[in-house]
Amino acid sequence: MKLYVKPTTNNKKYKTEIAKKYTIFLSQYPEIFSDLLYGSHFDFAIYDSMEKYENETPVEIFNVFCNGNGIEINPGKANGSDLELALSVKAIEKLIQTDSKEDYAKLLGTFYNQPDEERGWIDFLLHKRTQTIIDMGYGRFAKTAGLLDDENDT
Amino acid sequence: MSKVKELEIKNKYTGELIRSIPADTLESLQEKIKKVSKNQYLLKKMTFFERSQLLSKFASSLRFKKKQLKDLIVAEGGLPIKYSEWELNIVTNGFKFCDWYYQFIEDTHLTGIEGEQFVTIKHIPQGLAACVSPRNTPISLPLYQMGANYLVGNAAIVKPSTACPLTMLEAYSMMEEVNLPALEALDLIIAPGEWAIDEFLRSSLVKILMTITSSHTAKDIMVRYGQILKKTVDKSMGVPMYTRPFKQFVFECAGNDAGIVMDDVNLEQVAKWNVMASYTNSGQQCFSMKRIIVHRDIYDDYIDCLIKEIENLKFGDPTDPDVDIGPLGSRKILMMMEVMVADAKKYNTKIYTGGEKVDTGEDYGLFYEPTLVEIRPEICVDLVKSPFLWREEAFGPVRSVTKANDLKDAIRLANASNYGMRAVVYTSNLKSIEIFKNKLEAANIYINAKPMLTDITVALGGIKDSAYPPGCKYYPQELVFGKYIYDGTPANLNKIK
């Protein structure tokens, strides 16, 4: 069954402008999350540099939860998070300027496949076993979000 | 042979010196073997999942330095920049999701006839692995060898090719930078294969010898180990007593993969994939599609499509993002291509395209045009009478093509080989697909697959002369041994108390 996606963002809870803007933006493209199964719960962590990411010191974290009726976006780390999607501030600044899901996914894929401190980057860290993550629908989610684009496709 | 003090690594396209690096001596190799062996316990302090998390995180560090690594791959390996992406992605994806391999080595609980579960098969790391990797993959295979050993808990010493060790040295430095725990149990050796392998064979600390090499070199390694055993045999008991232990050999060898194109596919699409599968990295790939077998009803049309695609390939400066074919890795490869084409000509074959070399007269900037040679099917099956190009691995951009009458004939031609790494099939007939799956003699069968997959499920291995031990394989599986444990305590504790 496909989830009906209903963001419940309260952007006053976020301490940084970039997190506020990004959560508002994400709520405009709820279909990105439609491949995730009930119970999927993961973090979006925002970093201002690769070094901070390697040292695990994000500027802000919010989480996305598939609650069975829709998607909840809340500040802070998820309890028992499945994975962390790490994004640089510069990447988010560009991502929120896209005006279609396709452009968003394409740019996200570029930041993953060609990470660059100046232009922007994203990454992810799995907190659960790969097989569990695949079973929860994250593989399809990654495909939808442009992370698994096959550059060799002809 | 252990006197080489410094190695000069040159750009494969321009010939410019990239860097001089110190080479190992026999003494430093012996020291490294002792060091990693001694530190193996550090790996065992961590669980499989702790090690997999560390590798997964390291995959991010690799991705963040992608550009730097790609530049090195292109310079020292001669791989086109567009292909270096694949070379790197295969290992970063493998590391990122490496806990996926747990399914092959997790404890197996067996149920007996009466439903009792007294037996467990545990998978135990075998111990120090010495790994030798080839020139055509500056990072993917040596780093995968190192990572697979780290993952299962084996110490490892990896010898990248002396023609292109810089990328792997860079990757190792990155492991040092991120303070990868238990790195003391891993090391690199920069030395020519000949004497390094002899030392790996002699050392009783080395439990596994994992090499990616030609089938003939792999067999030679076995012979050399036999000679070492023979030298140390004790005959005082009346029968030969070999005091040296068994060693685990894991050989990834040559491939001479067949690619079958049946008469029910989109020829333009399949030709695109075929060319990618056959000529990527100038055809210097063990799993490259080397022998193309085409159904006779579409043969002429398909050849037209293939020629068009092949002639669209651009060769030249590997830093150019449009270049498909970079320089060959060595003069030996260039000579091999010339010999194979010259030999093929003696068999009344037809060269559809290519057949010319670009020779700078130096050790760099060497090219052989992407070449397609038709070989008549009558001379393909009896390997004694077939051209060198058909029966041996063409490790360069020369490919053979032949005509099959039907499905059965296509299988017969595909199986006419001493090798059995992969076989590739393109057909839309579902009944035929099942027959191909069952009848093709290869360890890895790809049906209607896109080439150059980087999926974690992609297996290595082969049958016949393509790999030892035979079969499709994932490295972590080969690096552990099964331990049978029968625990009858639940049934018998009261009886033995």
pLDDT in tens, B162-178: 999 999 999 999 999 99
B-chain residues near A130 (CB < 8 A): 97, 99-100, 456
- Give me the pLDDT at residue A71, please: 82
Rounded CA separation B258/B288 (Å): 9
- Tell me the CA distances in angstroms from B337 to B76, B138, B257, B394, B457, one per residue in order: 21, 22, 17, 7, 32
B41 — contact with chain A (CB < 8 Å)? no
Average pLDDT over residues B71-85: 95
Is B411 in contact with B299 (CB distance < 8 Å)? no
A-chain residues near B276 (CB < 8 A): 152, 154
DSSP for residue A33:
G
- Tell me the CA distances in angstroms from B28 to B40, B123, B196, one per residue in order: 18, 32, 11
- Give me the pLDDT at residue A4, please: 43
B63 — contact with chain A (CB < 8 Å)? yes
Contact B451 A54 (CB under 8 A): no
Is B277 in contact with B309 (CB distance < 8 Å)? no
Identify whether A18 is part of a domain.
yes
Q: Closest to B61 (Cβ–Cβ): which among A54, A131, A152?
A: A54
Is B170 in contact with B188 (CB distance < 8 Å)? no
- Give me the pLDDT at residue B235, please: 83
A56: nearest CA partner in chain B: B57
Q: Phi then psi for B299, rounded to 5 degrees? A: -55, -55
Q: Closest to A115 (Cβ–Cβ): which among B63, B99, B456?
A: B63
B450 — contact with chain A (CB < 8 Å)? yes
Contact A123 B63 (CB under 8 A): yes
In angstroms, what separates the C-alpha of A110 from chain B's closest C-alpha? Answer: 12
Q: Is B370 exposed, middle or buried (0-12, 13-18, 19+ CB in 10 A)?
A: buried
Per-residue pLDDT reduced to its tens digit, B16-27: 999 999 999 999
The neighbouring-strand residues paired with B398 are B371
Q: Closest to A152 (Cβ–Cβ): which among B96, B102, B452?
A: B452
Per-residue pLDDT reduced to its tens digit, B403-424: 999 999 999 999 999 999 999 9
DSSP for residue A120:
B
Rounded CA separation B129/B478 (Å): 11
Per-residue pLDDT reduced to its tens digit, B188-246: 999 999 899 999 999 999 999 999 999 999 999 999 999 999 998 988 878 889 989 99
State ipTM: 0.86
Rounded CA separation B132/A82 (Å): 37
CA trace torsion B367, B370, B372, B373 (10° rounding)? 0
Under DSSP, is residue A26 helix (H, G, I), strand (E, B) or coil?
A: helix
- The residue with greater pLDDT, A151 or B165, is B165
Identify whether A87 is part of a domain.
yes
- Give me the pLDDT at residue A69, please: 76
B177: nearest CA partner in chain A: A54
B312 — contact with chain A (CB < 8 Å)? no
B62: nearest CA partner in chain A: A115
B451 — contact with chain A (CB < 8 Å)? yes
Percent of chain B predicted with pLDDT > 70 = 99
Is residue B182's pLDDT more than 90?
A: yes
Question: How many CB pairs lie under 8 A apart between chains A and B?
Answer: 44
Confidence of residue B4 (pLDDT cuts 50, 70, 90): low
Q: Closest to B178 (Cβ–Cβ): which among A54, A129, A150?
A: A54
Is residue A54's pLDDT more than 60?
A: yes
- Give me the pLDDT at residue A147, please: 74
**What residue spans define the domains of chain B?**
6-253+473-483, 257-456
- Homologous superfamily, domain B257-456: Aldehyde Dehydrogenase; Chain A, domain 2 (3.40.309.10)
Is residue A152's pLDDT more than 60?
A: no
Going by DSSP bridges, is the β-strand pair B129-132/B208-212 parallel, antiparallel, or unpaired?
A: parallel
B275: nearest CA partner in chain A: A154
Q: Which of B51, B90, B89 is nearest to B183 (CA)?
A: B51
How many distinct structural domains can be found in chain A? 1
Identify whether A117 is part of a domain.
yes
Contact B85 A151 (CB under 8 A): yes
Is B473 in contact with B467 (CB distance < 8 Å)? yes
Chain A residues within 8 A (CB-CB) of chain B? 50, 53-54, 113-116, 121, 123, 125-126, 129-131, 150-154
Same CATH fold, B257-456 and B6-253+473-483?
Answer: no
**Range of the structural domain that residue A87 is part of:** 11-144
Two tokens, residue B376:
């008549």
Identify whether A44 is part of a domain.
yes
Q: Which of B84, B139, B465, B466 is nearest to B287 (CA)?
A: B466
- Tell me the CA distances in angstroms from A76 to A51, B19, B164, one per residue in order: 21, 48, 46
Provide the CB-side half-sphere exposure for A135 (13 A, CA).
7
Identify whether A152 is part of a domain.
no
CATH code assigned at A94? 3.30.1050.10
Contact B64 A126 (CB under 8 A): no
- Give me the pLDDT at residue A105, please: 84
- Give me the pLDDT at residue A5, please: 45
B457: nearest CA partner in chain A: A131
DSSP for residue A12:
G
- The residue with greater pLDDT, B273 or A34, is B273
B61: nearest CA partner in chain A: A54
- Give me the pLDDT at residue A154, please: 34
Q: Closest to B57 (Cβ–Cβ): which among A125, A131, A154?
A: A125
Per-residue pLDDT reduced to its tens digit, B298-356: 999 999 999 999 999 998 999 999 999 999 999 999 999 999 999 999 999 999 999 99
Q: Which of B97, B180, B148 is nearest to A128 (CA)?
A: B97
Is residue A85's pLDDT more than 80?
A: yes
Contact B64 A50 (CB under 8 A): yes
Helix or strand holding residue A23 (H, E): helix A17-28
- The residue with greater pLDDT, B396 or B232, is B396
Q: Which of B336, B373, B335 is nearest to B354 (CA)?
A: B373
Identify whether A108 is part of a domain.
yes
Question: Chain-wide mean pLDDT for chain B?
Answer: 96
- Give me the pLDDT at residue A150, please: 53
Under DSSP, is residue A24 helix (H, G, I), strand (E, B) or coil?
A: helix
B94: nearest CA partner in chain A: A130
B-chain residues near A126 (CB < 8 A): 56, 96-97, 99
B-chain residues near A142 (CB < 8 A): none
Of A123, A152, A153, which to mutate for an interface test with B (greatest number of B Cβ within 10 Å)?
A152
Rounded to two decimals, the pTM is 0.94
Q: Kindly report the CATH number that applies to the domain delimited by B6-253+473-483.
A: 3.40.605.10
Two tokens, residue A140:
């399809």
In angstroms, what separates the C-alpha of A86 from chain B's closest C-alpha? Answer: 11
Count other C-beta atoms under 10 Å from residue A39's C-beta: 12
Confidence of residue A28 (pLDDT cuts 50, 70, 90): confident
Cβ neighbours for B157, distance < 8 A, ≥ 6 positions apart: B32, B33, B36, B128, B129, B130, B131, B186, B187, B188, B189, B200, B206
Average pLDDT over residues A69-89: 93
- Give me the pLDDT at residue B151, please: 98
Per-residue pLDDT reduced to its tens digit, B138-160: 999 999 999 999 999 999 999 99
Identify whether A1 is part of a domain.
no
Burial B99-121 (b: 16+ CB within 10 A, else e): bbbbeebeeeeeeeeeeeebeee
Q: Which of B357, B388, B352 is nearest to B372 (CA)?
A: B352
Rounded CA separation B152/B479 (Å): 7
Rounded CA separation B315/B14 (Å): 14
